[in-house]
Amino acid sequence: MDLDRMFSGMSVSSSGMAAERRRLDVIARNIANANVVATPGGEPYRRQNVVFETILGELGGDGLPGGVRVKDTLTDHETPMNEVFDPKHPMANEEGIVAYPNVNMAFEMVDMMTSARSYEANMKAMKLYKDMMSQALTLLER
Amino acid sequence: MSGFDIQAVAQRIAQEFQSVKGAGPKTGAEDDKGGFADVLDKYMRESTDLQNEADGALNDLVAGKNDNVHEVMLAMAKADVSFRMMVEVRNKLVEAYQEVMRMQV
């Protein structure tokens, strides 16, 4: 559609918001699974992280960097598991240690706030874009 | 939502502008395709397309095919702005037409 080009900036913000939403989904998953010691695979849950990438030229129209999308959801194998000594736990090993997920609640909270703020910033950009167009429309009024 | 369709209105207005154009004195420029009525007609079609898109996005959201609320809002904002732009252009055209009609001969 030809008129769609008018809204290219809004599409960029929209893609940013969609990506932040995906990130929040993954953070929510991390928080919800923070105490899961046995996933269907038998392993404790591992923290997950999203990676964003720029969509080049698709949304910008003139080859400028366009929007953003979630490239991949990666599993954190670096951070060590949270080991708790609890010999009575059914999932405890021979030494009585239970491996809890490597989810740090404080980190997740900070990530969550970052995500929410980014969503807000994209929202603001989109709103401003719309306001600018509305301003231009008032040129015709007398 | 789906009952609202400005396509018919758009065609009607385009026809009226065409007839106004035809009623005037022949200037020899009748044949050129880039008349204002055509431009306005195109605007209206685009605006209708965006409104249909917004309708579709809303239906998708309600049907659970899409879970991004902001995309629906974006589609609706697009439809809103394009419709208002079309209305502004049309208002200006009608204003100019009325200005000419009021002119003392």
d(CA A123, CA A114): 14
What's the pTM value of the predicted model, to 2 decimals?
0.75
State which H helix or E strand residue A28 sits in: helix A8-32
d(CA A110, CA A107): 5
* DSSP assignment of B10-69: HHHHHHHHHHHHHHS---S-TT-S--HHHHHHHHHHHHHHHHHHHHHHHHHHHHTS---H
CB A133 within 8 A of CB A68: no
Checking if the pLDDT of B17 tops 80, the result is no
Residue pointed to by tokens 């065409």: B18
Burial (CB count <10 Å: 0-12, 13-18, 19+), residue B102: exposed
Provide, rounded to the nearest whole percent, the portion of chain B with pLDDT above 90: 11
- Indicate the pLDDT class of residue A121, thresholds 50, 70 and 90: very high
d(CA B88, CA B83): 9
Residues of chain A contacting residue B68, judged by C-beta atoms under 8 Å apart: 17-18, 21
Side-chain-side CA neighbours of B46 within 13 Å: the count stands at 21
Residues of chain A contacting residue B77, judged by C-beta atoms under 8 Å apart: 10, 126, 130
Which whole-number Å values give the CA distances from A74 to A46, A52, A137, B96, in the listed order? Answer: 10, 11, 45, 61
More confident residue, B39 or B98: B98
d(CA B7, CA B47): 9
SS3 call for A50:
strand
Q: Are residues A141 and B88, on separate chains, in Cβ contact within 8 Å?
A: yes
SS3 call for B85:
helix
Output the six-digit token pair for A7: 């809204």
- B67 phi and psi, to 5 degrees? -115, 10
Q: Are residues A4 and B78, on separate chains, in Cβ contact within 8 Å?
A: yes
Complex ipTM? 0.74
Shortest alpha-carbon distance between residue A130 and chain B (Å):
8
Q: Look over chain A and give the mean of its residue pLDDT values, rounded to a whole number.
A: 86
Shortest alpha-carbon distance between residue A59 and chain B (Å):
15
Q: Are residues A1 and B92, on separate chains, in Cβ contact within 8 Å?
A: no
Q: What is the pLDDT of residue A26?
A: 94
Checking if the pLDDT of B36 tops 60, the result is yes
Nearest CA in chain B to A123: B70
The answer to whether residue A6 neighbours chain B at the CB level (below 8 Å) is yes
Nearest CA in chain A to B47: A3
Checking if the pLDDT of B22 tops 80, the result is no
Shortest alpha-carbon distance between residue B28 and chain A (Å):
30
Q: Are residues A1 and B85, on separate chains, in Cβ contact within 8 Å?
A: no
Using only the alpha carbons of chain B, give its radius of gyration. Answer: 18
From A76, A59, A77, select the one nearest A68 (Cα to Cα).
Answer: A59
pLDDT digits (tens, 9 = 90+) for A65-117: 578 889 999 988 888 888 889 888 888 888 888 888 999 999 999 999 999 99
d(CA A125, CA A129): 6
The residue of A2, A3, A24, A133 whose CB has the most chain B CBs within 10 angstroms, and thus the best one to mutate to test that interface, is: A3
The answer to whether residue B38 neighbours chain A at the CB level (below 8 Å) is no
SS3 call for A67:
strand
CB A82 within 8 A of CB A33: no
Nearest CA in chain B to A142: B92
Q: Are residues A21 and B82, on separate chains, in Cβ contact within 8 Å?
A: no
Checking if the pLDDT of B18 tops 70, the result is no
